[in-house]
Amino acid sequence: MTLLRSSLVFKAVFATIFLQSLLEVHSSEAVETASIVENDQVKRIGDEVEFNCRVNNPNDKTLFWMRINGNNRSEQFVVAMGTTPTLKDRFSVDHYRDTATYSLRIRRLEANDTGFYQCRIAVDANNKVSAEVKLDIERPPEITAKSSSSVTVVEGDSAELKCEADGFPSPSITWKRENDEILPFGNTWTSGNVLRIQSVDKSDRGNYYCIANNTIEPSDWATIKLNVEFAPVVDTPRPRIGQARGHDAKLQCHIVANPTPIVTWLKNGKVIATETPHATGDEFIHMHRVSVIDSKDYGTYTCRVKNKYGKAEAVIELFKTEFAWINDRD
């Protein structure tokens, strides 16, 4: 009986020692973990924010904070535990041992502080544990370089004017035309990042305003020019002009065309002049001067206009009068 009791005692002691050894091994090999206490934060420029990272079993390893920028997830070092901030530093870390919490504080927030903040512990050269939280900074809208500056299409084709803006909250985009002209589809305004115009007409050409708004002032806007190339359209302010002998007659045709056309003047069907006007826009007046010396200078004159998309012409009749027509404004 005594021998049996001793054997049971020995087994109990051995089991206790074995269990303690297992606990010591488990404790020495405990895995570090990290978690963020707060939810994602939204702040204004100039505010202060604090993120708390709770770390279990850090084992005296160094904790540091990283900022993960944008969609490309590029990393930027922010601050490490043990760093002594200077007066110029906006970032600092505090360690609260009673709660195993490492607190990142950012003062005087700037627009480019937006991103994901990650607390990280390097377990070894190839392993790390981390947790992250998102910080958004409210900032006014700003139209980006990805937006269109000008768009050129041929009449009858479709056009897309694009406008993109950064900011937080995400900006909304509104479109208007210069001088509040009616948009091609009948409204004075529309919304969306892309303004689509089906079967563009020459009357759609001109400046369009892209306006970006969110809840943060000021709003931003940009001018996007729609250029439309089209065949010439021509008419004449005075289809019949009278003039006496010995005076000049000024024949005019009103031209709308893009690109700038070649203008040819004909008299009774024969070419008398051809030139490419030095026009600064796609709408202009072209003048041909006729010195009326005798009766053969009277007749039918044609202003013929042509570019790569087509041609058009207008006819002017120059007839004889007894009295001279003088217009100093021409």
The predicted structure's pLDDT at residue 136: 93
pLDDT tens string 91-100: 888 888 888 8
**Residue 46 one-letter amino acid:** G
Same domain, 243 and 299: yes
Q: How confident is the model at residue 170 (pLDDT cuts 50, 70, 90)?
A: very high
| Global pTM value | 0.73
pLDDT surpassing 90 at residue 194 = yes
Q: Is 151 helix (H, G, I), strand (E, B) or coil?
A: strand
Count the domains in the chain: 3
In a domain, 28, yes or no: no
- Torsion of the alpha carbons at 108, 96, 64 and 62, rounded to the nearest 10: 150
Same domain, 161 and 215: yes
User: How far apart, in whole angstroms, are the C-alpha atoms of residue 134 and residue 41?
Assistant: 6
Structure tokens at 74: 């590029």
* Number of other residues whose CB lies within 10 A of the CB of residue 278: 7
Same domain, 295 and 263: yes
Give percent above pLDDT 70 in the chain: 85
Same domain, 224 and 245: no
In a domain, 61, yes or no: yes
The predicted structure's pLDDT at residue 18: 37
Of 3-7, 114-118, 192-196, which range is least confident?
A: 3-7
Same domain, 57 and 150: no
pLDDT tens string 18-49: 334 333 434 444 556 778 888 899 999 999 99
Residue span of the structural domain in which 253 resides: 236-320
The predicted structure's pLDDT at residue 322: 87
Cα-based angle 305, 311, 315 (whole degrees, multiple of 5): 55
Q: Phi first, then psi: what are they for 173, rounded to 5°?
A: -115, 130
The predicted structure's pLDDT at residue 319: 95
The predicted structure's pLDDT at residue 11: 43
Q: Determine the straight-line distance between the first and last CA of the chain, rounded to whole angstroms.
A: 138
pLDDT surpassing 50 at residue 13 = no
* Contacts with 154 (C-beta within 8 Å, 6 or more apart), sequence order: 200, 228, 229, 230, 309
Same domain, 90 and 165: no
Same domain, 44 and 122: yes
Residues 154-167 have a mean pLDDT of: 96
The predicted structure's pLDDT at residue 1: 44
Cβ(177)–Cβ(206) below 8 Å: yes
Residue 59 region by backbone torsions, left for phi larger than 0, else alpha for psi between -120 and 50, else beta = left
Structure tokens at 139: 């900032």
Same domain, 84 and 131: yes
Same domain, 251 and 220: no
Question: Which CATH number covers residue 314?
Answer: 2.60.40.10
The predicted structure's pLDDT at residue 14: 37
**What are the contacts of 79-85 at 24+ separation with CB within 8 A?**
79/104
More confident residue, 78 or 256: 256
Same domain, 162 and 127: no
Cβ(214)–Cβ(297) below 8 Å: no
In a domain, 27, yes or no: no
Residues 291-302 have a mean pLDDT of: 94
Q: Identify the domain boundary among 138, 153, 168.
A: 138
Q: How confident is the model at residue 2 (pLDDT cuts 50, 70, 90)?
A: very low
The predicted structure's pLDDT at residue 22: 37
Q: Identify the domain boundary among 229, 246, 281.
A: 229
pLDDT tens string 135-159: 999 999 999 999 999 999 999 999 9
pLDDT surpassing 60 at residue 223 = yes
Residues 229-247 have a mean pLDDT of: 95
In a domain, 188, yes or no: yes
Beginning with the edge strand found earlier in the chain, give each strand of the sheet holding 240-243 in spatial order: 240-243, 310-320, 299-307, 262-267, 270-275
